[in-house]
Amino acid sequence: MKRKLKCYLAYTTLTYRILGVVLIPCAFWLLCVAVLWSKYGGIMGAVQPDSAGNYTFYIWLCMYMVFYEIYTDYWVLGGCFSDAGKGLRYFRTSCRGEEVIRNIAAVDLLRRFLYCMIFSGIIFLFTGWEAVIVAGLVMYCVIVGVLNGSRHYDGLQRSSGIAILSQVVLALINTLNIILLDLAEGRKAVMLTGLILLYGVLAFCLSRLMVRRIVIRIRGGKD
Amino acid sequence: MDYVIEAHDIKKKYKRFTLDIPELKIPRGFATALIGENGAGKTTLLNILAGILLQYHGKIRYFDQYTDKDREEIPDVKELIGYTASGSYFVAQWKLKEVEDISEALFQGFHRERFEQWCRDLAVGAGGWDPGQKVASLSDGNRMKLMIAGVLARDTKLLLMDEPASPLDPVMRDRLCEIIREYLAEGDGQRSVFFSTHNVADMENVTDYAIIMEQGRIVEQGFVEDLKEKYVLVKGDAADLGAVQDKLFTCSSNQYGFEGICLADKLDRLAGCNVSMERPGLTQISVAVMKHFSRVTKG
């Protein structure tokens, strides 16, 4: 893990790490807390199990997260699946290039996963750990899915278009989840476990795909 | 003769271009120049040899020991090869410190202090070693210097350089020639340099062996001294042009006279003609060979 982290730190710029990894998310965590506080009069007692407000806030948060991840990703690996292959040519000159880029992509995904879990944790703090995991996984799947598309374009316009379209997918997934949970009245825990498994597998597959595609760019030498 | 690279039947097809090289041999211990027009296939060939471009047909042997498959599987092979691209291959947002960090992660034989020293010596960017300077803020010439510093900071035995002289100023081109000479001298016959160039005149004094490419094929190659024996520079008055024009390999003329290149073994054809003969330079030979095979409309 130390080597993976070292590769990630070497590849990402200090500005990105300060602004994209620390300051912007921290500012948003604070904003989340502040919004929940003002709405419910205090975060500890405010966020109630099964609150509709939580869910609206969650969807709004997902929308923000997709844009945040796309724009900050553009800083680091934006356009890396495109023919220009931003910065990947240098990795091909080394036999370690594949391992290094795999490490970078893995740490990057781990960071996204942790952020999704933290954000959904703040909102669904008292709803139960299953809800936190489902919400976090859905957020993560949408973000990674969108990045799989946006990394093909070395520009923000098309990536923004993909992010906007992804909101439809996000809405559909969340609607499906609500319907499924309503249908499973009385067996909610079973349904939540099922959803965790479903989105867990999806998140794993999307992550694998993401790492694999960037490795193929190195290995395949498509130019 | 020892070869650092031996390649056979190299083929790479694009929609409107095919690289087709039945045999390529790059001598070990020398500086080899790859000369050719725009679109001749120089970059494609260098990218194939460096392992940047992996989809091609053919077989390559490195250091008389490794195959192109080994190059991708045995880390030692790419450790021994330093490659500089025609544009920068560093991410524009990187700072020099990050170039250093990622290079260290990519190459076992990368020496930080040597890299910093080369950046200082080559006056990359503002002139000194400024770890906070961004690649994006560097000019094309400085980006090339940065790539050169990067490969010289490693323990390599072969440098593959794609147009290293093009973005450099005349002083730096001269320094580049010195660097190549020093690199070869320190290698005790084990180090080699293979570079493509359009600036034949500037790089001539460092070139030992030349390969001339046209339309994806090698049309001429050999040690510079041998090529200078193979071709002869012929000059004469404009009035004599008609008598010799069809006997020359290539010819250019104006109202006062003409200048052309003739194959040394066909000099007897010029017997009786009023011409003077000189030993040509590599620039004159390469221009003549390129003109002979060129698709560019002759003026």
Give the one of A6, A75, A220 whose C-beta lies nearest to B105's C-beta: A6
Tens digit of each residue's pLDDT (9 = 90 or more) over B254-280: 888 888 888 888 888 877 778 888 899
Higher pLDDT among residues B121 and A174, named by residue: B121
What are the φ and ψ backbone dihedral angles of B227, each rounded to 5 degrees?
-65, -35
pLDDT of residue A154: 67
What is the Rg, in whole angstroms, of the alpha carbon atoms belonging to chain A? 18
Judging contacts by C-beta atoms under 8 Å, the chain A residues touching residue B107 are 94, 96
* Cβ pair B51:A96 closer than 8 A: no
Three-state secondary structure call for residue B286: helix
pLDDT, tens digit, 9 for 90 and up, residues B33-79: 999 999 899 999 999 999 888 889 999 999 999 998 898 888 889 99
Task: Express as a percent the part of chain B with pLDDT over 90.
Answer: 57
Average of pLDDT values for A200-204?
Answer: 94
pLDDT at residue number A45: 43
- Buried-exposed string A169-202: b where 16+ CB fall within 10 A, e elsewhere: ebeebbeebeeebeeeeeebeebbeebbebbeeb
Average per-residue pLDDT for chain A: 79
Beta strands in chain A (DSSP E): none
The pLDDT value given to residue A44: 42
Tell me the pLDDT band of A220, cut-offs 50, 70 and 90. low
**Beta pairing, strands B57-62 & B66-67:** antiparallel
Q: Does the pLDDT value for residue B111 go beyond 70?
A: yes
Chain B: give the shortest CA distance to residue A76, in Å.
8
- Computed over every residue of chain B, the mean pLDDT equals 90
pLDDT value at residue B131:
86
User: Is ipTM > 0.90 here?
Assistant: no
Q: Which residue intervals of chain B are DSSP H helices?
A: 42-50, 68-73, 75-80, 96-106, 112-121, 140-152, 170-186, 200-203, 224-230, 241-244, 282-293
Strands B81-84, B158-161: pairing kind? parallel
Contact state of B101 with A97 under an 8 Å Cβ cutoff: no
Mean pLDDT in residue range B144-170: 94
- Which residues 2-31 of chain A have a CB within 8 Å of chain B? 6-7, 9-11, 13-16
A93 interfacial to chain B (CB closer than 8 Å): yes
Q: Is any Cβ of chain B less than 8 angstroms from the Cβ of A220?
A: yes
Local confidence band at A46 (pLDDT 50, 70, 90 cut-offs):
very low
